[in-house]
Amino acid sequence: MKPFSDRLVDAIRMKGNPCVVGLDPRIDLMPMFVRSGRGAPTREAVRSVISGFHELVLDTVAALVPAVKPQLAFFEQYGAAGILAFEDTVRAARQRGLLVIADAKRNDISSTAGAYAAAFLGETDVFGEPQKAFDADSMTVTPYLGRDSLQPFVDVCTEHKKGLFVVLKTSNPGSRDFQDLELRSTERPLYEKITETIREFGQPLRGESGYSSIGAVIGATFPEDARRLRCLLPEAFILVTGYGAQGARGREAAVCFNDDGLGAIVSSSRGITYSYSPDNLTKPSFVNCVRENTLRMIADVTGALR
Amino acid sequence: MKPFSDRLVDAIRMKGNPCVVGLDPRIDLMPMFVRSGRGAPTREAVRSVISGFHELVLDTVAALVPAVKPQLAFFEQYGAAGILAFEDTVRAARQRGLLVIADAKRNDISSTAGAYAAAFLGETDVFGEPQKAFDADSMTVTPYLGRDSLQPFVDVCTEHKKGLFVVLKTSNPGSRDFQDLELRSTERPLYEKITETIREFGQPLRGESGYSSIGAVIGATFPEDARRLRCLLPEAFILVTGYGAQGARGREAAVCFNDDGLGAIVSSSRGITYSYSPDNLTKPSFVNCVRENTLRMIADVTGALR
């Protein structure tokens, strides 16, 4: 198997765009036909609603985009039922040839970080046999706990040819609170300091494409910051957030790309899967709506890159 | 129901100590009698091994300590089977009168942070009915994403009388990498800046005990830093990490307490539940070992506080 970054480049070239569909299960926003006739909210009913909804979305977008990004928070809000649906969703996405970015924003220290890395990207010893838990292609992690907290994730990426996106400069207004704080030593923002660690970990994980499997999460809502980070991390893949519902468009996202038209992927969730009135929406109308939203995003992003 | 901080103070007073037993499911380290005769590593077999192990631990420590701290990473490494066991474990702990601190180190932005808060502390709408997913008493969260990323957690704590521990200064060597960076504006470390946000969110959530339900995670492996943070956050409950396997003892942990002997809880995981050779250990010997380890920790911590 190729390293994650090369698989991502292949998938982007095959689909002709760098767009990622976010999967945020929110049953209350799903079309009525998905939810109706389910009876009591048992574990199996909840799992089957979420997994069924995602199968419809995946069938619709699999031919169009290179990757999907399930957001763990929205699965976890349904407890174990949600995590069973997360397993289903990752499996269904990979069966359809889509790369999976587990948006988990996990981290911890030493062997605990290792357990998270094993959960999402690696293997765990179970009764003496190595078992994969979630088996995503890549995941998001937070940097605050330091360089040694990222090491176990990088190790698992190296061994299993997986990828990492380190949360660097997020798309929310509050990203200014701590991420932007200027350091005494550099007179530059904290997030710029963290690029050094991403570069250092990323260097040995460069693929044949020239891109590394250690990337960064950057919000397109601060395009000037994103432009500078693009220069500081020329070999990193950037997972661009803030597109669509949060206000950024293709023009803002475009600053996260290199001149070769690569080096970034742009994610949209609600704007793709929930931009309709859920009542009385038929299955064909829903599929058509998801398809149209995806095509519109692809046209916007690829148009801005030309 | 009382607010979390007051329930914690009550539990500490009732048990006579501020010690917390960490629950890190690692099947390969569990005694052979827990694992044997389980056959294939199916979802139900894995769930039952973990839940059974924790029931034994909980039965042993319920009368001794005020709270337990399940670490989500070690549950997630077993996939949905692990999360089913997490549900079992939280339920079993609460049934035995123990407070539960979900060590999840979660965070994200806006409605996504809200989904994590709902998952661990609040409720989610499922088919029109509010359902609790994990229903812990409190959880750990990371601050890097900013003030607005913490707001949804604080809101859920306010509504459901739950508690929060914001990761501030961790016990690992790499906590120096970013947490300790000096800011240009204050010439003080980043983590000190974050105390302002914890104080601000904590003020309205002060209970009758004087302590707030918004606390902080601080490693006892840097006692000088911990001492200063104690002064900066007089009303916050500190979740003290790094005790035991990571080298800190009661003497180091003691600097995290106020003069009233309250304001902190000290957690130990491996040192309580896995400090034995797993082969040929009988069930009575295991129970005795967990009990002795817990009593030794209690004696060390309460001794240092006297």
In whole angstroms, what is the distance from residue A41 CA to residue B47 CA?
22
CB pairs A-B closer than 8 Å: 230
A259/chain B closest Cα distance in angstroms = 29
Asked if A71 and B134 come within 8 Å (Cβ–Cβ), the reply is no
> Residue B68 pLDDT > 90, yes or no?
yes
E-strand stretches of chain B: 19-23, 67-70, 99-106, 124-126, 129-131, 138-141, 163-169, 214-219, 238-241, 264-268
Contact residues on chain A for B82, CB-CB shorter than 8 A: 119, 133
pLDDT of residue A39: 85
Of the pLDDT bands very low, low, confident and very high (cuts 50, 70, 90), residue A63 is very high
**Ranges of each domain in chain A:** 4-305
Q: What tokens does B264 get?
A: 């902190």
Cα–Cα nearest to A46, from A8, A18, A72, A83: A83
pLDDT of A76 over the 90 cut: yes
Q: Which of B71, B142, B171 sits opposite A144 (nearest CB)?
A: B142
User: Using CA atoms in the order B83, B86, B91, B97, what is the torsion angle rounded to 10 degrees?
Assistant: -160
Mean pLDDT estimate for chain B: 97
Say what the pLDDT of residue A165 is: 99
Residue A91 has pLDDT above 90, yes or no: yes
Distance, in Å, from the CA atom of B168 to the CA atom of B23, rounded to the nearest integer, reads 21
pLDDT at residue A36, as a whole number: 83
How many angstroms separate the CA atoms of A17 and A61, rounded? 12
The number of CA neighbours under 13 Å toward the Cβ of B235 is: 19
CATH superfamily of domain region B4-305 = Aldolase class I (3.20.20.70)
Active-site residues of B, by number, are 105
Sign of CA dihedral A200, A205, A211, A215: negative
What is the torsion angle, in degrees rounded to the nearest 10, for the CA atoms of residue B294, residue B295, residue B301 and residue B305?
Answer: 150
Position B237 confidence tier, pLDDT thresholds 50, 70, 90: very high
Residue A86 has pLDDT above 90, yes or no: yes
Instruction: Give per-residue pLDDT as tens, B165-220.
Output: 999 999 999 999 999 999 999 999 999 999 999 999 999 999 999 999 999 999 99
Q: What is the per-residue pLDDT across A96-151, written as a single tens digit (0 to 9) for each? A: 999 999 999 999 999 999 999 999 999 999 999 999 999 999 999 999 999 999 99
Query: What is the Cα Rg of chain B in Å?
Result: 19
pLDDT beyond 90 at A245:
no
Q: What angle do CA B85, B88, B93 make, to 5 degrees?
A: 125
Percent with pLDDT over 70 in chain B: 100
Pair A106, A116: CB distance under 8 Å:
yes
Which spans in chain A are helix H?
4-15, 32-35, 43-61, 72-76, 79-95, 110-120, 147-160, 190-202, 223-232, 250-254, 270-273, 283-305
ipTM for the predicted complex: 0.98
Distance CA B222, CA B246 (A): 11
A112 vs B71, B83, B120: nearest CB: B71
- pLDDT given for residue B168 in this prediction: 98
Chain A residue with Cα closest to B90: A79
* A118: closest chain B residue by CA: B77
- Whole-number pLDDT of residue A280: 87
| pLDDT in the model for residue A246 | 87
pLDDT digits (tens, 9 = 90+) for A29-57: 999 999 887 889 999 999 999 999 999 99
Q: What gap in Å lies between CA B5 and CA B165, rounded to an integer?
A: 11
* CB pair distance less than 8 Å for A181 and B193: yes
Q: What mean pLDDT is predicted for residues B119-129? A: 97
> Which range (A267-281, B178-192, B251-265) has the least confidence?
A267-281
Q: Average pLDDT, stretch B105-109?
A: 98
Residues whose CB is less than 8 angstroms from the CB of residue A306 and which lie 6 or more positions away in sequence, other chains included: none
Q: Nearest 5°: CA angle at B256, between B253 and B261?
A: 95
pLDDT at A279 over 90: no
Residue A224: CB atoms within 10 A of its CB come to 8
A71 near A22, Cβ under 8 Å? yes
Q: Are B173 and A79 a contacting pair at CB < 8 A?
A: no
Q: How much is the pTM?
A: 0.98
- Which residues are CB-contacts of A79 (< 8 A; sequence separation ≥ 6)? A43, B83, B87, B119, B131, B133, B134
Tell me the chain A residues in contact with residue B197 when contact means C-beta distances shorter than 8 Å.
177
Distance from CA of A168 to the nearest CA of B (A): 9
Q: What is the pLDDT of residues B22-48, one digit of tens each?
A: 999 999 999 999 988 788 999 999 999
Give the integer Cα–Cα distance in Å for A145 and B175.
5
Percent of chain A with pLDDT over 70: 100
Contact between chains at A181 and B185 (C-beta distance less than 8 A): yes
Residue B223: count of CB within 10 angstroms of its CB: 18
Structure-block tokens of residue A97: 């040839």
pLDDT at B38: 81
- Sequence-ordered list of residues with C-beta below 8 angstroms from that of A115, at least 6 positions apart, any chain: A108, A124, B71, B73, B74, B76, B77
> B98 CA to chain A: closest CA distance, Å?
21
Q: How many CB atoms lie within 10 A of CB B50?
A: 26
Q: Which of A27, A126, A174 sits opposite B146 (nearest CB)?
A: A174
> Which residues neighbour A21 within 8 Å (Cβ) at sequence distance 6 or greater?
A57, A61, A65, A67, A68, A69, A267, A268, A269, A272, A273, A294
Q: Do B143 and A143 touch (CB under 8 A)?
A: no
Which of the four pLDDT bands, split at 50, 70 and 90, describes residue A187?
Answer: very high
> Are the beta carbons of B13 and B32 closer than 8 angstroms?
no
Cβ of A119 within 8 Å of Cβ of B87? The answer is no
Q: Which of A105, A161, A162, A283 is catalytic?
A: A105
Nearest to B133 among A77, A87, A127 (CB): A77
The pLDDT of residue A161: 98
